[in-house]
């Protein structure tokens, strides 16, 4: 029993001097660490956390913006493609219309040229006919004159010639 009490006396003894120094030392430690360690550390951690949170929000926003931008670009690209196709189609249509018009014009020109050629031919033919007629008439008259000089008088000749001319085809 005595031993127990003695043992307890050793372990459970209190010491006012130790309490005094420890009290002072601990207060100093609290102040020291509070000011120079925990202050900077906790404020830095809080700051870092807000920074990270903000950056994440910013990144998310940027991502959304980028996605929006991409979508916009996609729309614009499609629009541009559509426009390009429309332009191409227009051009093609215009080209074909132009070609058609050219063809028609050429055809008309050809027709006109044909017509003018025919008119020329007709004119020339008429002219040639007229010339031929007067030539033939002159020849006939000459021939007839020669014949008639020998056989008939001039009156009989004229009658014959007129008859001859009248019998000539009209064109």
Across 66-77, b (16+ Cβ under 10 Å) vs e yields eeeeeeeeeeee
When the beta carbons of 34 and 142 are compared against another protein, the nearer one is 34
**Following DSSP, what letter does each residue of 109-141 receive, concatenated?**
HHHHHHHHHHHHHHHHHHHHHHHHHHHHHHHHH
148 in Cβ contact with 154 (< 8 Å)? yes
When the beta carbons of 53 and 100 are compared against another protein, the nearer one is 53
Q: Confirm or reject binding of residue 169 to another protein (CB under 8 A).
A: no
Q: Confirm or reject binding of residue 59 to another protein (CB under 8 A).
A: no
Q: Confirm or reject binding of residue 29 to another protein (CB under 8 A).
A: yes
Q: Is 169 helix (H, G, I), strand (E, B) or coil?
A: coil
Q: Residue 57 CA to chain centroid, in angstroms? A: 40
Cβ neighbours for 156, distance < 8 A, ≥ 6 positions apart: 148
Q: Confirm or reject binding of residue 26 to another protein (CB under 8 A).
A: yes
Q: Confirm or reject binding of residue 88 to another protein (CB under 8 A).
A: no
Q: Confirm or reject binding of residue 64 to another protein (CB under 8 A).
A: no
Q: Confirm or reject binding of residue 47 to another protein (CB under 8 A).
A: yes
Local structure of residue 36 (DSSP, 8 states): I
Q: Confirm or reject binding of residue 53 to another protein (CB under 8 A).
A: no
Find the binder of another protein among 48, 78, 105, 112 (CB under 8 A). 48
Where does this chain touch another protein (CB under 8 A) — which range of 11-19, 100-108, 129-137, 143-151? 11-19
Local structure of residue 86 (DSSP, 8 states): H
When the beta carbons of 53 and 120 are compared against another protein, the nearer one is 53
Residues binding another protein (CB under 8 A): 2-3, 5-7, 9-23, 25-26, 28-30, 32-34, 36-45, 47-48, 51
């Amino acid at each position: 029993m005595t031993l127990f009490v003695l043992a307890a006396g050793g372990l459970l003894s209190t010491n006012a001097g130790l309490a005094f120094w420890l009290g002072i030392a601990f207060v100093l430690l609290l102040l020291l660490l509070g000011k120079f360690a925990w202050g900077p550390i906790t404020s830095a951690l809080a700051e870092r956390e807000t920074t990270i949170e903000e950056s994440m929000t910013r990144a998310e926003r940027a991502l959304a913006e980028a996605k929006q931008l991409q979508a916009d670009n996609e729309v614009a690209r499609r629009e541009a493609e559509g426009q390009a196709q429309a332009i191409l189609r227009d051009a093609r249509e215009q080209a074909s219309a132009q070609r058609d018009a050219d063809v028609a014009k050429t055809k008309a020109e050809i027709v006109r040229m044909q017509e003018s050629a025919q008119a020329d031919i007709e004119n020339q033919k008429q002219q040639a006919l007229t010339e031929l007629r007067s030539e033939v008439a002159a020849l006939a008259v000459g021939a007839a004159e020669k014949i008639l000089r020998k056989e008939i008088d001039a009156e009989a000749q004229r009658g014959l010639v007129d008859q001859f001319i009248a019998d000539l085809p009209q064109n």
